[in-house]
Structure 1
């Protein structure tokens, strides 16, 4: 009868056939399938998919270039958190953490015990902050709390010294870890895998400092965590501001620093915008159009109907009459194109971040449990399109956009090319900027004038010679005119 009803269902329609199929499934088979499904690891997607977590770089990313992955994603001085804890090469810093804890507690054992007890109370919440549960499970609550205490202590002591606060122990850092430990420390605390929950850091800061100092401790560091940024831009560390984190608190230090970097400045008044003709791109919807790049290199990218954007280098833009200008007030998502009658300007933020920090921020943006916007990723891709040769780097350096701390321009080009963008590209964030650039480059009048100035008139002597030649030509024409038609003949 079952087979007969199934045959009828084939004739009558698909709906009845589906019902017969469901009824025909054996109960034991359903039970076996249910048990098998429940035994599969699905916690990652069911319970924590809506929560940002501290995670490791996936193996398929590291396997693309293992040696470079180690240089970019692994700490070289100090381990922060459980992912790199206990590595033999980081043992010296592990011993130094105890000295930093003494400085944070003022050598008071009761204070240390109090700090430890407060962190131990949050051991369960700390575990939930890490995506790799099997690594965190190696440590019991007491060991995990001690790890968090020591790691937070060395970060706080480093920031304390960096800000030049009273009671700093810079000589201890130099004696124990070496004179070059500070740049390495900045690098290591900006690694995605080398993080502790930011709430643990804030908790220890609140217990160690007075209310006013505790409130400004991290903001002051965020505003000038790189010396070159403070020196060039003139950041006021005492009055630094950071984005509001009440609704969306940062999970770790790297995310908090990224928020400061990509924070949009206050919009200018309408009349100022009309005067400057600025076109600041909005990146609130940056994650809408993300697509995979082809494995074959392509020079064109569609940015609007009928307009395709060519990946033009800095020198190409200069030859077309587009000047590069640095603007310390711009964030990576606020690249601005200012059109002009003859010449235009491309305003870029000062590039003061190291490639390691940029790549870890990109990894945080594109990997699961990251953030909803791809600002740093899009900025990195835009800069990679601008820098194609050492001459491009030299031009950016001359205009104050890029800080070349390596000397060799070719090395800078190679480092920019090696920045891993995970094969992704965003089309919207700089859509208006790219469209305006392409419109300028397709204007014959502007490009001819730029070619005349940059290619033909390279020196003042060439300009003088050109002016003299034009003047001589005009005088010759006037002389010829008066020779053919003398004044007395024209009077008659």
Structure 2
């Protein structure tokens, strides 16, 4: 979008006649040839106090947005020795350091165009390429460390101090790699296998070749955060958009009840096989129902990762389907308190590495603040749950089962009562028969 054209359209200057101003809107053409792929976090999210410190790097900056940040100076000095180590690991492939640098130079112009206009103006081509080279070597070397099982056994004595410093802050380094504003463009497939193996290790999802759509998405991925998102929603499952059913039932519930409330209606939970964030399905069987949900491991990296994925989805040129945003809102509606967490943990849907169940419940309640999912998200499951909960018989049966079968003692008491009743009836029958 050309700045002059925007100025012409939005100007409120009296010198522009109304007719010409309206004509400029009518004839407007988006003249942008390349959309920025390395986007900034939307201001709405930055203003939310619940998201404080989730978008800025703590110790290492990648790319131009936070380059020169004083908090990252110490790790900026580590990039040259780590780049040396990365190049040294490439020697077996007969790759010189000049060849590595030339790979960056080839895509330097395209990489610069991936960032918002104005954020790379302070760099000439040489400085920009040097920054990209050091950052790319750093990121790839971190991936290499994550992929191997014994990272401490292959570090040489000359870099011992560097790796000691890296080891102490490794958790924070990984956290910084998944920030929206800390991404560098994926403009070459030279190291695609390394990236795939790294993502497999980080997400626990297979990186082997799958359907054609996954291969296509890989080629179109602008940065690492996008690839993480692809792994979380792959294999793709086409959601049932039962819009007509929603229109026919305007009073249908637009959100889920909590886990505890759904249990009281005879609804049970089980983990999905795919772990796909959109793999949510509800099946009603007679008086009971089953809600299938993807399992997720929640640790200290999860909040930052999910919120940066949400920020990516909210960007003007980000993904339009809001799959991660929808998932977070779904979990928030299901989880009100620690009892809800406890049930999902028991079903292996939540793997809690944060601490207490109360803390995990608070986690989902906080990260969903100000987030609004598309109303069609998980619509098919919502409508089926709503229809299930409308039948009072389901609720009565669930209460009866909970009362008499929730524990061995309750079951024994119930069976004892049945036995006593049967004996009483038998005694009455035989007494009458003997007469």
| 2:115 is aligned with 1:120 | no
Gaps of 5+ in 2: 1-14
* Structure 2 residue corresponding to 1:257, chosen from 228, 234, 237: 228
Is the CA contact 1:223–1:240 (under 8 Å) kept in the aligned structure 2?
no
* Structure 2 residue corresponding to 1:221, chosen from 198, 207, 228: 198
| 2:184 is aligned with 1:184 | no
Change (3 A) 1:346 1:32: closer
Give the structure 2 partner of residue 416 of structure 1.
364
Q: TM-score when scaled to structure 1?
A: 0.73
Cα offset, 1:369, TM superposition: 0.8
* Structure 2 residue corresponding to 1:465, chosen from 394, 413, 416: 413
Cα offset, 1:223, TM superposition: 2.0
Partner of 1:308, secondary structure, is coil
How is 1:185-204 mapped onto 2 (pairs within 5 angstroms)? 185-199=173-187, 202=188
Give the structure 1 partner of residue 267 of structure 2.
322
Larger Rg: 1
Q: TM-score when scaled to structure 2?
A: 0.82
For residues 263-309 of structure 1, what are the alpha-carbon distances to aligned partners after superposition, in whole Å with 9 as ceiling and x for unaligned? 135xxxxxxxxxxxxxx7617x79x99xxxxxxxxxxx999445324
Give the structure 2 partner of residue 365 of structure 1.
313
| 2:131 is aligned with 1:147 | yes
Distance 2:154 2:194 in 1: 14
Distance 1:247 1:99 in 2: 30
Does 1 or 2 have the higher relative contact order (CA < 8 Å, sep 6+)? 2
Is the CA contact 2:42–2:311 (under 8 Å) kept in the aligned structure 1?
no
Is the CA contact 1:161–1:168 (under 8 Å) kept in the aligned structure 2?
no
Is the CA contact 1:96–1:176 (under 8 Å) kept in the aligned structure 2?
no
Cα RMSD (Å) of the superposition?
3.4
Distance 2:56 2:16 in 1: 47
| 2:288 is aligned with 1:343 | yes
Partner of 1:72, secondary structure, is coil
Is the CA contact 2:254–2:375 (under 8 Å) kept in the aligned structure 1?
no
Distance 2:217 2:180 in 1: 22
How is 1:263-274 mapped onto 2 (pairs within 5 angstroms)? 263-264=234-235
For residues 72-93 of structure 1, what are the alpha-carbon distances to aligned partners after superposition, in whole Å with 9 as ceiling and x for unaligned? 1111121111111111111121
Distance 2:417 2:404 in 1: 13
How is 1:30-41 mapped onto 2 (pairs within 5 angstroms)? none
| 2:81 is aligned with 1:81 | no
For residues 215-268 of structure 1, what are the alpha-carbon distances to aligned partners after superposition, in whole Å with 9 as ceiling and x for unaligned? 522222222214xx3xxxxx566x465822369601111001111111135xxx
Cα offset, 1:192, TM superposition: 0.7
Give the structure 2 partner of residue 175 of structure 1.
164
* Structure 1 residue corresponding to 2:384, chosen from 405, 423, 436: 436
Cα offset, 1:441, TM superposition: 2.0
Is the CA contact 2:310–2:325 (under 8 Å) kept in the aligned structure 1?
yes
Give the structure 2 partner of residue 486 of structure 1.
433
Gaps of 5+ in 1: 1-27, 207-213, 230-234, 266-279, 290-300
Change (3 A) 1:264 1:241: closer
353-362 vs 161-170, which deviates more?
Answer: 161-170
Is the CA contact 1:380–1:421 (under 8 Å) kept in the aligned structure 2?
no
Partner of 2:279, secondary structure, is coil
Give the structure 1 partner of residue 354 of structure 2.
406
**Number of equivalent positions:** 403
Cα offset, 1:335, TM superposition: 0.9
Distance 2:142 2:317 in 1: 28
